Amino acid sequence: MKPESDYKVGEFMNRDLVQVTPETPVKRCAEVMAAERVSSALITEKKRVLGIVTEKDLARKIVAKGLDAEEILAKDIMTTNVVTVSPDTSLYDAMVLIDKKKVKHLPVVDKNVVVGIITAMEILRIQPSYMEILANPIEKEKEGSEF
């Protein structure tokens, strides 16, 4: 068994991605997420990540505002400054990034192409001790760090 510091995102990421286009109606996006039993959908074009829509986005940006999910498009509610990692990122560094950026989903990108996704919950299933990172935030990195 490898030391936990050698665990890489690429070994544990989910390769079965839920992807929709920017022009996909939000209702369809939600239907696909529900059918696939996932909490997010990547908004992509030619395998490049343009954004992400999460259950939280659907709840806060559509349902809570009483908007018509058939009329609103994924591009209208997606988060565009998507935080990503590479397959070579350690699980520990991925969890630190999740805490620092306050996200729950990390698309995995290799050579500008999305190849997978990993979530905070998936990392915690693999390495439960990393809950400590979320419970006791690590002192923030100095400016100029890789995160």
Does residue 92 sit within a domain? yes
Q: How high does pLDDT run on average in the chain?
A: 90
Establish if 111 belongs to a structural domain.
Answer: yes
Looking only at the bridges linking them, the beta strands covering 48-54 and 19-20 are unpaired
Please count the other Cβ atoms lying within 10 Å of the Cβ belonging to residue 145: 8
> What is the predicted pLDDT for the residue at 3?
58
The H or E element spanning position 135 is helix 131-135
* Residue 136 pLDDT greater than 80, yes or no: no
Per-residue pLDDT at 147 exceeds 90: no
Total domains in the fold of the chain: 1
CB 50 within 8 A of CB 81: no
Does residue 143 sit within a domain?
no
Contact 86, 108 (CB under 8 A): yes
Q: What is the pTM of this model?
A: 0.85
Phi, psi of 16 (to 5 degrees): -85, 90
For residue 135, what are the CA distances in angstroms to 32, 47, 110, 131? 32, 34, 30, 6
Residue 70 lies in a domain: yes
Domain residues for the domain of 67 are 4-135
pLDDT confidence bin for 135, thresholds 50/70/90: confident
Domain-located, residue 106: yes
The pLDDT assigned to 18 comes to: 96
Predicted confidence (pLDDT) at residue 61 exceeds the cutoff of 70: yes
CB atoms within 10 A of CB 107: 22
- The answer to whether residue 92 scores a pLDDT higher than 90 is yes
Domain-embedded: residue 37? yes
Flag whether 39 is in a domain. yes
Q: Which tokens belong to 38?
A: 């996932």
The CATH number linked to 26 is 3.10.580.10
Looking at the domain assignment, is residue 144 inside a domain?
Answer: no
